[in-house]
Structure 1
């Protein structure tokens, strides 16, 4: 039997718009309850800008109640019983009581409308989301112990977890997401069901999995979420490259555990995010995901060297390609894919600076190659230091401090964020008497290399270097034109008969 609690003992701060909406439904002869995440967040002391309601009214009946009240409304989710709207800055969804399940091979839920709040709560993912506030009376309905589980920081399901995950396998991803967002532990029977049913996540669309993954990575405790995915085997189907990192702890412990190292880098990168006015406002998915994926190229590049050393040559390049491939499979947008993959590719670029130092040219290339990702690259590189050797950690930190100071000094002199050749395309064509074409691009590239290597040049010096380059191109062309031509078969031509 459902337990109905008097909410007078709880200090609910309810916006008047919620109470107004509840009264309108009651006046029209319907039930309305605030449900799910917004109720959970009230107990956590948070206010959600998105409000979810459930009702015994059909979508048509819901529309008749809210049409003149809402600032605007939409019917995109009507087939699933959901009407959306905006009112006084709140985004609101009202859904008819329902039950839904998946066929064994289906990616879409089969929806059936219900008539009971209790049945509606039973079909929800976890007990902490299976609470409701009846409106406008503010009676708390908690039939499955959601408040208890919130206080215990435990994630459990209203019914059997096997049934819940069979109905909607995406709930297994949500379990990991809530572990990351709320820092809650997962009940033993939930963990067991996730392990036994992990493969069922394959029937869920890549887009839905991606959305849960992004929320997980951006959570307050992303390490806990990733650990749950890996421990239960879900990562084998969602992020197999991360699962593979566990193989990098060999029996002789000749090198660090790359999986744990990657989780530590993820945590450290998140800690270096800035406030909303800083260069990398958190949570920043691009930085965090690059931190998690930065070493995924190591399993494919691991080599045991003479003397027992282990090497991972070119794991940055391999990892960049693996990261892009995984993100494409998860249907990320191209800009996000390129940004994360580029950070993975560049994460090793700094190493060696502390030993040998860099020329101004190398610093310019570092900045130019990073482009708009420079601030993220700074944080990723610093986060990649997880050594317990304090002296080594301090040396690397000092070296990167020095590099950032070099970048700042050069930026004051040269505007590194927009390095261009000292002559533009029009000036190149005018000086060399060229029309637009590939040769102009080659000349432009030559001047860009000169700019990288030597810094800004005066116009006279740039023109002099370009003319010298152009003369060398002409000489090369003449030399090539005087060489014997190869015949059609690729060999040298036969000598002409006299």
Structure 2
């Protein structure tokens, strides 16, 4: 891409970095992209690198997934790819998309679209277009409405996307009202791109998001879930979350987040629970070791949603939220179920919300080794995330208090490590298995074995490991008390 590709000469110096990024990224993928472009040209068709791929190339972050558009219809695209692609898939065929793989790159080639939308569900109805300009005009934002034609690398930017990348701004090719009227999910996508790219939303876009937020109700829960997940996993989820609340979009699918704005946090009187929650999410992001941990971020976001329902004021004016973690876990489960998250994801996030307050009180010196074992056993494989969530929940500005909480949790982790070195905390199980229980008591499989197993597990948690002889003595003592043996 040359400097002459820039839409305005005055912008050349500002856009040089973006252009350098694009050239470097395109050179990396051009052996495959240009070869594919030549195959389409020989077959009498156009091929253009388009949308997010061009945007990411300009930002210097192009990955191994490339998006193309073409005037070729799916059957024609398949003929071009046959014998060249290492693998081909047609899962997106109904939307005009054919997928392929070549030299480690995943390619998606989509026929030009002149998309229209079902006026009830707002799901896209595929109508093939006839030109690149028509295809770019229907796209959601200007930063996604640019193309590089192949193999000649001609740059097309009819809506000023390059300017908006330079300004780090999210705008729509048509008016925001027209764009969001076509597909209300684009409002959520605007917040998602703000979170992913750290871009600002243009005031006109922000205004339309606020005025049209109720239109999001026409979108399926699954589509909303997928966009929200990407938002929460963005580089700056706080910006995206604030947009959702400020525009009223959160009220349409995650009202618990908006509801936190009115609640005062008893641990940090200087900020409301909403601000505290955003800080906890930000803290949780800082504890991630590699990539996005959605379960940790979602637990951080939902950890205090039980506070509005449990708020109580004492005669002295102090505010409390007793058992908000229990209520919050229930609300989290219901909300994530409504958003169609998988059961295993819901279970993990809900468990973290339920456990996030367990640590408070440890610093008073009341925890026995038994309490530590139960903490580890209840957390299970979520323990590393629980450590991070609990530390993230400390948002007090009181340095002495913050230091004390950090020291207390350091002490708890050290204590867990010490006990783990002496016992198998990763597998807190009874000292006798089901077969040993049945043999010793002379009983068949059934409820008695389950009750005995549960009793031995409680003994294991309370007292630590027992040797075989001691475990058998305890089992027989329990069985006699239950009238199972003489």
> TM-score scaled to structure 1, two decimals?
0.91
2:238 to 199, 223, 230: 223
3-state SS in 1 of match to 2:244? helix
Q: In the alignment, which residue of structure 2 is the partner of 1:393? A: 402
Unaligned residue ranges in structure 1 (runs of 5+): 276-281, 479-498
Aligned ranges for residues 99-118 of structure 1 at < 5 Å? 99-118=114-133
Report the CA distance between 1:249 and its aligned residue. Answer: 4.5
Q: In the alignment, which residue of structure 2 is the partner of 1:260? A: 275
2:219 to 189, 194, 204: 204
Q: Could you tell me how far apart the structure 1 residues matched to 2:328 and 2:42 are?
A: 60
Q: Give deviations 1:255-282, integer Å, cap 9, x for gaps.
A: 630001000000001101113xxxxxx3
- 8 Å contact from structure 1 (residues 4, 141) kept in 2: no
Off by >4 Å, runs of 4+ in structure 1 = 6-9
Q: In the alignment, which residue of structure 2 is the partner of 1:31? A: 46
Q: Give deviations 1:95-121, integer Å, cap 9, x for gaps.
A: 111121323312421221111111111
Report the CA distance between 1:357 and its aligned residue. Answer: 3.6
| Higher CA-based Rg | 1
Aligned residues: 467
- 8 Å contact from structure 1 (residues 255, 310) kept in 2: no
Report the CA distance between 1:400 and its aligned residue. Answer: 0.2
Q: In the alignment, which residue of structure 1 is the partner of 2:89? A: 74
3-state SS in 2 of match to 1:144? coil
Report the CA distance between 1:4 and its aligned residue. Answer: 8.3
3-state SS in 2 of match to 1:93? strand
Which 10-residue stretch deviates more, 64-73 or 233-242? 64-73
Q: Could you tell me how far apart the structure 2 residues matched to 1:39 and 1:28 are?
A: 24
The 1:28/1:4 distance shift into structure 2, 3 A limit, reads farther
Report the CA distance between 1:356 and its aligned residue. Answer: 2.7
The 1:255/1:305 distance shift into structure 2, 3 A limit, reads farther
Q: Could you tell me how far apart the structure 2 residues matched to 1:458 and 1:25 are?
A: 73
Q: In the alignment, which residue of structure 1 is the partner of 2:339? A: 330
- 8 Å contact from structure 1 (residues 4, 139) kept in 2: no
3-state SS in 2 of match to 1:54? strand
Report the CA distance between 1:35 and its aligned residue. Answer: 0.3
Q: Could you tell me how far apart the structure 1 residues matched to 2:220 and 2:104 are?
A: 31
**1:315 to 2:330 alignment:** no
1:244 to 235, 239, 259: 259
Q: In the alignment, which residue of structure 2 is the partner of 1:291? A: 300
- 8 Å contact from structure 2 (residues 264, 319) kept in 1: no
Report the CA distance between 1:48 and its aligned residue. Answer: 1.7
Q: Could you tell me how far apart the structure 2 residues matched to 1:407 and 1:59 are?
A: 58
Aligned ranges for residues 400-439 of structure 1 at < 5 Å? 400-439=409-448
Q: Could you tell me how far apart the structure 2 residues matched to 1:283 and 1:116 are?
A: 38
> TM-score scaled to structure 2, two decimals?
0.93
Report the CA distance between 1:94 and its aligned residue. Answer: 0.8
Unaligned residue ranges in structure 2 (runs of 5+): none
What value does the CA root-mean-square deviation take over the aligned residues? Answer: 1.9
Report the CA distance between 1:254 and its aligned residue. Answer: 5.7
2:149 to 107, 127, 134: 134
